[in-house]
Structure 1
C-alpha cells in the first residue's frame, strides 16, 4: 500500500476525490456538448464571426451568476456545513443534466435553453468551488496538503481529459446520450459526498455582520500581495490566452475534424495537466516556487501562439498538451500558496474570490475570445491572446516582486516579509 499517495489512504479524502472526478467528467462532457450545439445551431444561419460571438456569450452567462453570488458563496462555505453546500451544488448540476437530456431526447434543444442551463451551471459552480476548495484541507493533515491539492487537481484534470472526449463520442451516438450519462455520474458524485462524515467547522464570529464577513475575503486578498499577485496573474494571463474557448471554431472550420476532433482538442490540455499533477503528487515542488510559476505562465502564452498558427492536428494537440501542463504547473503553485497562506476560518471566502478570478479568466476569457474573434477572426485572436499572456508575465514579475521572492509554500514567520499579512492580521482561530 506504500505506493498509494498518502492523502488517498484517508477514506474521507478518497470519497471527496471520487466525487470531484465524476462530477468533473460530467461537467466537462456537458460543457463541450453545449458549446458544440450552440455553435452548430448558430452556423446554420450565421457566418463564422457571428457564431463565434455566440460562444463568447456562453462564457458571459456562466460568469454573471458567479460574479453576483460571490459574497454569498464565500460566506456559505465558511458559515454553513461545507459538505451540504457542495452536495446542493452537485444536485443542481444533476438537475441541469436531466433537463438537457430531456430537451435533446424530445428534439427541443434551442440556443435559449442552452444559455439558461449554462447560467444555472454557473450558479452551481459558484457554490461548489469555494465549498470543495475549503473542504479538502479539513480532510487531510496540514503537512500533506500540497500533495492533496495535487491529487485534487489530478481528479479535476483527469475528468477534463475524459469528459470532453466522452461528450464528443456520446454525442455522436445521440444528442441526449452525453447528458444522460452525465446525470448518472453526478448521481454517483452526490452519493460519494454523502459518505463524508462531519468535519471540523471553523470558528464563526457572530458579532460581525453578514456584509462585513462576506467582504473579508476581498480585503484579505487585497492586503496579501502574494495571494493577490498569484490570483491576478492567472486572471489576466488566461483571460488573454483563452485558446480553448475557440476550439469549436478550430475543430469545425480550421482543422475540419468535427465533434470527435473537438473532443480530442478539449482533452489534450487536460492530458498534459494530468501528467503534471501526477508528477507533483509524488514529487512535490519545494524550491523557487514563485519564479517557476512565472515561467510556466510564459510557456502557456508561447504555446498558445503556436497553436493559433497551426494547421496540423498532431501539432495542435501537442501544443494544447503543453498548454495544459504549463497551466497545471501554475495552478498547483497558486492553489498551494493560497491554501497554506489562508486561515481555515477564511478559506471559503478567499476561495470564493479565487473562484471569481478563475471564472473571470475562463468564462470572461471565453467571452473576450468570442468578441475578439468576431472582430478580427479566431486565429488572429488566439495568437494575439498568447502574446498578451507573455506580456502579463513580464508586467507581474515587476509589479509583484513577492512572486519572484516566494521560495517555498510555507508562510514566512512574523517579520520575515513585511508585505505578507497572512500571519499578522488574520490569526488561525482556536477551535
Structure 2
C-alpha cells in the first residue's frame, strides 16, 4: 500500500479516534455478535430437534436463497437511498425476528419449519444490510484512512465472532429463548448506534432511472475487471469447498465429545486467528505482492481445514481453526480493499451486493454443501475433501487470473486525503 510522500499514513489508533468510525465499529460489533449468537442457537436447536446433518446444511441454504433472490434489488436500493436508514431498518427487523424466535422457543411451540421460516427472514434482511454496511464505510472515513479502516472494521467482525459464539454457547444452558433475547437486544443497540452515525462525506447516490443496465451494472463492472472477479470468485470456491463450520455441532457432539460450551469455543477459534491478523494488518498493512499473498493465504486455509478434519482432540481442532481464521482474514482484507477502492461510490452498493452474494454462497451455500457431503461420506470425509478442493482451486485460479496473482499493491492510484 502506498501513499503520497507528503501525506503520512494515519496510525490505526488515529482512525479509531474518529467519532464516526468509532460508532460504525461498535454498530458492526453489536450486529455481528447478535447474528453469531442467533446462529449458534439455530445450529444447536435444529440438530437437537432432528439429529440430521442434512438439516444443518439446509439452514445454510435457506438463509442463502433470499440473498440471491434479492441481489439486484438490494444493491440498487443501497446506491439510491440513504444507507444509514437502510442499515437501521434491517437491524430493527432482525431484532423483531429474534424476539419472535425467543417467544416461540420459550413457549415450547417452535418446530423445524418455524426455524427455517425465521432463518429465511434473517437471510432476507441481511441481503440488504450487508452490502449497504460495506458501502457505508467509505463515507465514514477519508480515502487515506480507508485501508486501515477496512482492517479495523474486520477486527470488529472477528471480535464479535469470538464473543458471540462463546456467549451463545454458554447462554444456551439457560435455553434457546434466552439466547434469542440477547440477540434481539444487540440488534436493537446496533440500530441506535447507526442512527447517531455522522458521515464525513456524502455518498454519491444513483440518480439514473431504473433499467436493466443499472440493475446488472454490478455484474458488468466486476466481469470487466479480472482482478476483482478473480479475488471474489477465489473466496467463493475456496470457502465453498473448504468451509466446515456447518459441521461443528457434529464435531462437538460426536467426534470431540463436548457440549454447547465446546461448540462455542470451536466457533470462536477461527475468529481468534482472524482478529489477531486483522490487528496486525491494521498496524502493518500489506505493501507489495498482495496477489501472491492472497493465494498463499487461501492455500494455508485449505491445509488447516484438513488438519481440523482429522483431529479428535479439542485443543488441536481449535488450533487448526485459529490458523484457518488467520489465513482467511488475509484474503478478506485484500478482497474487501480491492472491491471498495477500485469501485466508484455510486456503484458500491451494487458491486457490494454481488460481492455479498459470493460471500454468502461461500458461507451459507458452503454449509449446505458440507451437510450433503457429510451425509454421503461422513463428517471427516466431507472436511478432508473440502480442504483438498480448496488447494485445487488455488492452483487453477492462479492460471485463470494471472493479473490477480501478479497484483503488487492494493491500489494502483495515489490515495488522497
Give the TM-score taking structure 2 as reference length: 0.95
Matched with 1:305 is: 306
Please say which of residues 196-205 and 124-133 is displaced more in the overlay: 196-205
Matched with 1:26 is: 34
Contact 2:12 2:152 in 1 (8 A): no
Give secondary structure in 2 for the equivalent of 1:107.
coil
Matched with 2:63 is: 62
Quick one: which of 14, 24, 47 aligns to 1:6? 14
Distance in 2, matches of 1:346 and 1:177, equals 40
Matched with 2:50 is: 42
> Structure 1 residue 126: deviation in Å?
0.5
Residues 166-205 of structure 1 show CA distances to partners (whole Å, capped at 9, x for unaligned) of 1000001222111111111111111100001355121424
Counting only pairs closer than 5 Å after superposition, residues 276-291 of structure 1 correspond to structure 2 as 276-291=277-292
What RMSD over aligned residues (CA atoms) do the two structures have, in Å? Answer: 1.3
Matched with 2:180 is: 179
Counting only pairs closer than 5 Å after superposition, residues 194-205 of structure 1 correspond to structure 2 as 194-197=195-198, 199-205=201-207
Matched with 1:15 is: 23
Matched with 2:214 is: 213
Runs of 4+ in 1 over 6 A off after TM superposition: none
Give the TM-score taking structure 1 as reference length: 0.92
Please say which of residues 3-12 and 108-117 is displaced more in the overlay: 3-12
Matched with 1:396 is: 397
Distance in 2, matches of 1:7 and 1:129, equals 22
Give secondary structure in 1 for the equivalent of 2:176.
coil
From the superposition, tell whether residues 412 and 11 of structure 1 become closer, same or farther in structure 2 (CA, over 3 Å): closer
Distance in 1, matches of 2:104 and 2:153, equals 33
Residues 284-304 of structure 1 show CA distances to partners (whole Å, capped at 9, x for unaligned) of 111111100000000000010
Contact 2:274 2:326 in 1 (8 A): yes
> Structure 1 residue 3: deviation in Å?
7.6
Give secondary structure in 2 for the equivalent of 1:176.
helix
Distance in 2, matches of 1:343 and 1:6, equals 25
> Structure 1 residue 212: deviation in Å?
1.9
Distance in 2, matches of 1:345 and 1:4, equals 27
Contact 1:6 1:144 in 2 (8 A): no
Distance in 1, matches of 2:12 and 2:309, equals 39
Matched with 1:78 is: 79
Counting only pairs closer than 5 Å after superposition, residues 385-424 of structure 1 correspond to structure 2 as 385-411=386-412
Contact 1:239 1:361 in 2 (8 A): yes
Contact 1:372 1:381 in 2 (8 A): yes
Matched with 1:107 is: 108
Contact 1:234 1:361 in 2 (8 A): yes
> Structure 1 residue 214: deviation in Å?
1.5
> Structure 1 residue 209: deviation in Å?
2.8
Contact 1:36 1:248 in 2 (8 A): yes
From the superposition, tell whether residues 301 and 346 of structure 1 become closer, same or farther in structure 2 (CA, over 3 Å): same
Residues 244-296 of structure 1 show CA distances to partners (whole Å, capped at 9, x for unaligned) of 11101101111111111100000000111011001111111111111000000
Contact 1:308 1:379 in 2 (8 A): yes
Matched with 2:7 is: none
Please say which of residues 403-412 and 237-246 is displaced more in the overlay: 403-412
> Structure 1 residue 8: deviation in Å?
1.5
Residues 210-269 of structure 1 show CA distances to partners (whole Å, capped at 9, x for unaligned) of 332121001001111000000000000000001111101101111111111100000000
> Structure 1 residue 412: deviation in Å?
5.3
> Structure 1 residue 4: deviation in Å?
6.0
Distance in 1, matches of 2:70 and 2:12, equals 38
Distance in 2, matches of 1:347 and 1:302, equals 33
Distance in 2, matches of 1:146 and 1:254, equals 41
> What residue ranges of structure 2 are gaps of 5+ in the alignment?
1-9
Contact 1:340 1:411 in 2 (8 A): no
Give secondary structure in 2 for the equivalent of 1:143.
coil
Give secondary structure in 2 for the equivalent of 1:364.
helix
Matched with 2:5 is: none
Give secondary structure in 2 for the equivalent of 1:197.
coil
Please say which of residues 194-203 and 357-366 is displaced more in the overlay: 194-203
Give secondary structure in 1 for the equivalent of 2:134.
helix
Matched with 1:252 is: 253
Residues 342-400 of structure 1 show CA distances to partners (whole Å, capped at 9, x for unaligned) of 11111110000000000011011000110111111111000000000011000001110
Distance in 2, matches of 1:333 and 1:89, equals 27
Distance in 2, matches of 1:181 and 1:209, equals 40
Matched with 2:3 is: none
Matched with 1:134 is: 135
